[in-house]
Structure 1
Amino acid sequence: MDPTKGSIFKTYDKPKGYSASNSFATFMIIGPTCFFLGMLFSSFPYDYPLLWTSVETPAAYYDQLETHLKFLHASPPIIPRILHIAVSVGFCGFFIKLFKPSEANLLFDGASLVLYVVGVIVYITNIVKGLRIVTLGVYGVPEGDTEIVVGREDSLRVLAASNTILALVLIGVLVLQAGQWYAERKDADEAAKFEKEQEGKKEAKSQKSGGHVTRSASKKKQ
């Protein structure tokens, strides 16, 4: 039985140069994702005392964290522009891979794109909003028509938790891309193994038919 039949990676004839463009698009996704993870890792020392320790955080630490976040939010315009360009590069990578998609692209890249969009939403709705609140210093204001009041400490904890959630989402993108690479590599190995077996069978059959013709010709000569 042909193992390539029914494979999610053989649903259509891939155009010439597909593998090269697909690899480059994968790099366009992994590069920005790792870039964002590096940024979040640099914030981990600030987030760790708020989320991962049972020791009471001193009030002076919140003042220090506020100063850091205000400085981060007041960075020159080129900094957020570079960040937004990196986000756009990631989206371009997904669009390239999902152009004329196979089932594999829809499975792995589609799920990766969903996580990537979730990460962007978390960044806009939680992180950017949290940085603005910290910069303005407006805490304890009810949100909308609700009576929920979030103080300074809770706001900083929510911001730290948002960083953690975003990191987990981005790790999910990398896991899915790695899973796609492994599945494609496994499928290619099985296809190569099948082709090698078929070539071996053809050679054995040709040798057998060649030997039969030789014996027939020798009998005619006798």
Structure 2
Amino acid sequence: MKTDPDKTLKSKSYRGSASFATFLIIGPTCFFLGILFASFPYDFPLLWSKAPLPTNYLDTLETHLRFMHQSPPLIGRLLNIIISIGFLGFFSKLFRPHEANVLFDGGSLILYVIGAGVYATNIVKGLRAVSAPGGLEAAAARHEGPFSGDVELSREDSLRVLSASHTILALVLLGVLVLQAGQWYAEKAAREEDEELEARDLKRKKKN
């Protein structure tokens, strides 16, 4: 059985899930999941608990969000740099497309872009509304549509929307990790299959 030397060379040079670019993807993804996990105690009473909200809970949550948004500019720049590192990892892996990474890395990149969109639209805008003079009570959130008209969200509903955006972002980032783990498993299964085929070929050669 003849093998294509060019194909063999490409398969050896392609490292896939073992490459440094994969680390550039998984690192920022886990970092942002850690930030979202730190916000989960604030989001849980709004989304997942049926118990009445504690006294002054909305004030505490709004103060926390305002403190995060009004942090030094260095914090926001670091977050943007970490997001860019994730994109750098994707572009590094997709710069030389391989059949083993088009599906997994392509799907992961789509999810990562969706996550960046959720962060830039819902979360950043929500934090800006919280930091506005007077807070959410003064800056009423409105949605103008041809069918829905004007919808005014209460202070609690606005905070619930922000918490739901955190949950959506966490699910999207988990999807990125699942696809990267799927790529590792697929490459492992392919290597085991190749090893079995090579062992069979060696046995046939010995018999002949």
TM-score (norm 1): 0.83
CA shift for structure 1 position 63: 0.3
Match of 1:173? 176
Q: Distance in 2 between matches of 1:12 and 1:202?
A: 20
Query: What displacement does 1:16 show?
Result: 6.1
1:30 to 26, 29, 37: 26
Q: Contact 1:139/1:150 (CA < 8 Å) preserved in 2? A: no
More strand by share: 2
* Structure 2 match to 1:143: 143
CA RMSD of aligned residues (A): 2.4
- Aligned counterparts, 1:126-165, within 5 A: 126-136=122-132, 137=135, 138-144=138-144, 146-165=149-168
Letter in structure 2 aligned against 1:175 = V
Please say if residues 22 and 96 of structure 1, whose CA atoms lie closer than 8 Å, have aligned partners that are also in contact: no
- Superimposed CA distance per residue, residues 126-150 of structure 1 (whole angstroms, 9 cap, x where no aligned partner): 0000000011113324334641111
Q: 1: CA distance between counterparts of 2:17 and 2:141?
A: 50
Structure 2: which 5+ runs fail to align? none
- Whether contact under 8 Å (2:140, 2:153) holds in the other structure is yes
Give a deviation string over 1:185-214, Cα, whole Å, max 9, x none: 100110011011101111121xxxxxxxxx
- Partners in 2 of 1:135 and 1:16 — Cα distance? 53
CA deviation profile, 1:55-107 (whole Å, cap 9, x unmatched): 12145100000100000001111111111111011001000111121222111
TM-score, with length taken from structure 2: 0.88
1:108–1:176 CA contact under 8 A, matched in 2: yes
Q: In the TM superposition, what is the alpha-carbon distance from 1:51 to its structure 2 partner?
A: 0.5
Amino-acid identity (%): 58
Choose 1 or 2 for highest CA Rg.
1
Alignment partner of 1:64 is 2:67: no
Which consecutive residues of structure 1, in runs of 5 or more, have no partner in the other structure?
206-222
